Amino acid sequence: MSGSGSYGQFCPVAMASEVLCQRWTVLVLREMLCGTTRFNDLRRGVPRMSPSLLSKRLKELERAGVVVPVPNEAGVVAYHLTEAGEDLRPIVMAMGFWGQRWVESQLSLKNLDPSLLMWDMRRNLDPKPLPPRRCTIKFQFPELVPARRCWWLVVEGATVDLCGFDPGFEVDVLVTASLRSMTAIWMGLAKLGRETAEGRVRIDGDPAMARDMGRWLRLSSFAAGDRRVA
């Protein structure tokens, strides 16, 4: 990078910042480090990022040697991290744990987005505690507008799909909660048991699946981080 976008310093921190510190870049890397490779899936992980800006950032990361596009036989491109890209994993994770430790939770919980929350939950859901059949889990956020109120996770074997519309399968478990409560649980800012006991989360349906929700709903990778703010 050169010109007005350059810090013009030989310091490695400055040079790394020229690659990493543009808006959205670290979040795109977060998605790729979580295993996302397809353009449309990357968009679901950064839903407020425009497609044109995502394409621009991917090209910049490619030029920096962090990402490489790999087309398959059908010409569909998957974006993979290079060795340099994988080397960013501890840096991105450290940023997340820093945010979990030092950023005030009330500020975090102002940034609520059901599509992003459900996409993250889909990615981390553990199918192993679930029955060995197709399982459908519906999440309902009553305070949201109808188009964003209901979400379905459909689990078949090791595959977990997210639907923003009714897939037509019988629902095994219905989770009704405010988006704020569910996000707080996901981020480790609240406990599922307490939110359920105090009526902010309701779990209906298959008793065994409902009881085991704390096992199959694995939390955010940063939920285990300790907090240092009041």
Q: Tell me the mean pLDDT in the region 121-138.
A: 95
pTM of the entire structure?
0.82
Task: Kindly indicate the confidence band of residue 154, based on its pLDDT and cuts at 50, 70 and 90.
Answer: very high
Same-domain check for residues 63 and 131: no
- Domain finish residue from 57, 87, 117: 87
CATH number at residue 117: 3.30.1050.10
Task: Kindly indicate the confidence band of residue 2, based on its pLDDT and cuts at 50, 70 and 90.
Answer: very low
- pLDDT on residue 221: 84
Rounded Cα distance between 50 and 62, Å, is 18
- Domain finish residue from 87, 115, 145: 87
Rounded Cα distance between 24 and 103, Å, is 19
Q: CA separation (Å) from 38 to 32, 35, 69, 222? A: 9, 10, 10, 24
Rounded Cα distance between 39 and 19, Å, is 20
Question: Can you give the residue range of the structural domain that contains 128?
Answer: 106-216
DSSP assignment of 78-122: EEEE-HHHHTTHHHHHHHHHHHHHHS-HHHHTTS--HHHHHHHHH
Closest CA to 175 of 149, 194, 156: 149
Instruction: State pLDDT tens for residues 58-102.
Output: 999 999 999 999 998 888 999 999 999 999 999 999 999 998 888
* Lowest-confidence segment of 65-74, 101-110, 190-199, 216-225 by average pLDDT: 101-110
Rounded Cα distance between 146 and 47, Å, is 19
pLDDT > 90 fraction of the chain, expressed in percent and rounded: 75
Task: Kindly indicate the confidence band of residue 3, based on its pLDDT and cuts at 50, 70 and 90.
Answer: very low
Same-domain check for residues 185 and 134: yes
- For residue 212, the cross-strand partners are none
The H-assigned helical ranges of 51-88 are: 51-63, 83-86
Task: Kindly indicate the confidence band of residue 229, based on its pLDDT and cuts at 50, 70 and 90.
Answer: low
Q: Tell me the mean pLDDT in the region 23-28.
A: 96
- pLDDT on residue 72: 87
Q: Tell me the mean pLDDT in the region 98-126.
A: 85
Closest CA to 220 of 179, 186, 189, 182: 186
Same-domain check for residues 57 and 117: no
Same-domain check for residues 72 and 114: no
Q: Tell me the mean pLDDT in the region 176-180.
A: 96
| Domain count across the chain | 2
* Lowest-confidence segment of 24-28, 39-43, 98-102, 204-208 by average pLDDT: 98-102
